[in-house]
Amino acid sequence: MLGFAQLFASRLVKALAILIAIVVMNFFLVHAAPGDPAMVMAGEAGAADEKFVAQLREQFGLNRPLYEQLATYVGKIAQGDLGFSYRQQRPVWSILAERLPATLILTLTAFALALAAGVALGTLAAITVGTWADSAITVVALLAYATPIYWIGLMMSLLFSIQLGWLPAFGYETIGAGYTGLAHAADVAQHLVLPVVTLALFYMAGYARLTRASMLEVRGQDFVKTAKAKGLTPTRVVTRHILRNAILPVITVAGIQAGQLVGGSILIETVFAWPGIGRLAFEAVLQRDYQVLLGIFLVTSVMVILFNILTDILYGLVDPRIQAAR
């Protein structure tokens, strides 16, 4: 237990150092991008003269040296303040609090579906290697991995929404329906089907191929032959010996991708008009809303770091030898 606590503490210290570096790097990268937020706001206000632009820069501190802006930004981050949106005239925290739940529902559901289906299909392909089932799973996985995700989303919308009329084509909920309780949950779940399946297909393909390859490598090792020689059932050999040792590479990849999914669903959220932070990031780029962009980068960076820490913990649960070696 003490070793686990020390491991967790060391991971937190490293995570904090990484997060500080990410905050500074993101600040410089965003400000190095072309475009001027003051010019964008002035243009939309219909008064893009130099005096008005100068007033906007003064109002939002954009005329100060970059190092002063960085010091102010880092100081606010340390106090838990992500800043104020130039465009929406609202605190960044409140904007993210509105959008983040929709993204978490979408990405975590898609991740769970992709991982469960990918491991199941990869296991089936490994135990039926060389048969038609193995070939079919391999072909489907290759097609899902190679096909652009936005094209899959558009085709699924055309088929299941426009042609068949089974599912809603876009949005988070039915506008103006006024559902509450279970009816609202069912409405959101119905809107969730197409984006979740579209997003999950790509990652499921990778997990299926990785699980298959890892299980084929493990099943020829001596401890598996020993388990078979003891008279264990094929199901027990696969689940307790082959899969448990073959799952570690899948956990590694899944841990990396889980955090990336939170901020990497821009295409899906755009295709299906899903009101998450991926779509918010796209809008913030077009509007040169630096504070919102930096807030999104910070939140997604924290998610990636947290999922990597959880992956380390999961390693120790799946294979205690790893925790002992640390």
Give the CATH class of 99-325.
mainly alpha
Angle, helices 92-127/290-318, rounded to nearest 10 degrees? 40
Which class for 193: exposed (0-12), middle (13-18), buried (19 or more C-beta within 10 A)? middle
| In the chain, where the domains are located | 14-81, 99-325
Residue that the structure tokens 């899903």 belong to: 274
Task: Select the more confidently predicted residue: 129 or 9.
Answer: 129
Please report the pLDDT score of residue 117 as a whole number.
Answer: 92
Question: What is the pTM assigned to this prediction?
Answer: 0.78
Average pLDDT along the chain: 79
Has residue 3 got a pLDDT over 60? no
Q: Are 11 and 309 within 8 A, CB to CB?
A: yes
- Amino acid symbol at 259: G
Indicate the DSSP class of residue 91: B
Angle (nearest 5°) at CA 281 between 55 and 49? 20
User: Average pLDDT for residues 129-149, to the nearest whole number?
Assistant: 87
pLDDT tens by residue, 268-308: 888 888 888 888 888 887 777 778 888 888 888 888 888 87
Length of the chain: 326
Please report the pLDDT score of residue 39 as a whole number.
Answer: 62
Lowest mean pLDDT among 10-14, 122-126, 177-181, 271-275: 177-181
Residue that the structure tokens 């809008």 belong to: 283
User: Average pLDDT for residues 1-28, to the nearest whole number?
Assistant: 75
